[in-house]
Amino acid sequence: MKILVLPGDGIGPEIVAQAKKVLNKLAAEGMPIELTEAPLGGAAYDQYGSPYPEFTQKLAREADAILLGAVGGPQYDKLERPLRPERGLLAIRKDLNLFANLRPAILYPELANASTLKPEVVSGLDILIVRELTGDIYFGQPRGIRVNDNGEREGFNTMLYAESEIRRIGHVAFQAAQKRGKKVCSVDKANVLETTEFWKEIMTDVAKEYPDVELSHMLVDNAAMQLVKAPKQFDVMVTGNIFGDILSDEASMLTGSIGMLPSASLDANNKGLYEPSHGSAPDIAGKDVANPLATILSAAMLLRYTFNEEAAALRIENAVKKVLADGLRTADIYEAGTIKVGCSAMGDAVVAAL
Ligand SMILES: NC(=O)c1ccc[n+]([C@@H]2O[C@H](COP(=O)([O-])OP(=O)(O)OC[C@H]3O[C@@H](n4cnc5c(N)ncnc54)[C@H](O)[C@@H]3O)[C@@H](O)[C@H]2O)c1
Ligand SMILES: CC(C)[C@H](C(=O)O)[C@@H](O)C(=O)O
Ligand SMILES: [Mg+2]
9 is catalytic: no
**Residue 90 alpha carbon, nearest atom of ligand 2:** 3
The model's pTM: 0.96
> If we measure between CA atoms, which residue out of 63, 26, 28, 15 comes closest to residue 296?
15
Angle separating helix axes 343-353 and 12-28, nearest 10 degrees: 20
Q: Which atom of ligand 1 is nearest to the CA of 74?
A: 41
Catalytic residue list contains 326: no
**Distance, CA of 223 to chain centre:** 19
What's the confidence (pLDDT) of residue 252?
87
Where does residue 327 fall: left (phi above 0), alpha (psi -120 to 50 degrees), or beta otherwise? Answer: left
Q: Which ligand has its closest atom nearest to the C-alpha of 249?
A: 3
Q: What average pLDDT is seen over the chain?
A: 97
226 marked as part of a ligand binding site: no
CA of 229 relative to ligand 1 center, distance in Å = 25
Is the pLDDT at 236 greater than 90? The verdict is yes
Q: How many CB atoms lie within 10 A of CB 141?
A: 8
The predicted structure's pLDDT at residue 218: 98
Residue 148 exposed, middle or buried by CB count within 10 Å (0-12, 13-18, 19+): exposed
By CB neighbour count within 10 A (0-12 exposed, 13-18 middle, 19+ buried), where does 72 fall? buried
Ligand 1 atom closest to residue 276's alpha carbon, by position in its atom list: 1
Angle at the Cα of 172 from the Cα atoms of 240 and 314, rounded to 5 degrees: 110
Nearest ligand, CA of residue 278? 1
* Position 272, amino acid: G
Does the active-site annotation cover 138? yes
Going from the Cα of 89 to the center of ligand 2, the distance in angstroms, rounded, reads 8
Q: Is the CB of 258 under 6 A from ligand 2?
A: no
Convert 156-168 to b/e letters by CB count within 10 Å (16 or more is b). Answer: eeebebeeebbee
Ligand 1 environment, Cβ below 6 A: 11, 15, 70-73, 86, 89, 258-259, 275, 278-284, 290-291, 294, 332
Tell me the residue type at 293.
L
Rounded to 5°, angle at Cα 179 from 351 and 321: 25
Q: What is the atom index within ligand 1 of the atom nearest the CA of 73?
A: 41
| Interface confidence (ipTM) of the complex | 0.97
For ligand 2, whether the C-beta of 9 sits within 6 Å is no
Start-end of CATH 3.40.718.10 domains in the chain: 1-99+267-354, 104-257
Per-residue pLDDT tens digits for 53-73: 999 999 999 999 999 999 999
Q: Residue 97: pLDDT band by 50, 70, 90 thresholds?
A: very high
pLDDT tens digits, 286-337:
999 999 999 999 999 999 999 999 999 999 999 999 999 999 999 999 999 9
Closest ligand to the CA of 76: 1
Cα torsion through 111, 292, 57, 239, rounded to 10: 10
**Does the active-site annotation cover 245?**
yes
- CATH class held by domain 1-99+267-354: alpha beta
Determine whether the shortest distance from the Cβ of 245 to ligand 2 is under 6 A: yes
32 is in an annotated binding site: no
282 is annotated as contributing to ligand binding = yes
Q: Which residue in 46, 64, 95, 249 is the catalytic one?
A: 249
- The verdict on the CB of residue 86 being under 6 Å from ligand 2 is yes
CA torsion angle 338 339 341 346 (round to 10):
-80
Instruction: Report residue 115's pLDDT band, with 50, 70 and 90 as the boundaries.
Output: confident
pLDDT digits (tens, 9 = 90+) for 118-175: 888 999 999 999 999 999 999 999 999 999 999 999 999 999 999 999 999 999 999 9
Cβ-Cβ contacts under 8 Å for 279 (sequence gap 6 or more): 10, 70, 71, 72
User: Ligand 3 mean position to 210 CA, how many Å?
Assistant: 30
Judge: domain 104-257, CATH 3.20.20.80: no
CA of 116 to the centre of ligand 1 (A): 18
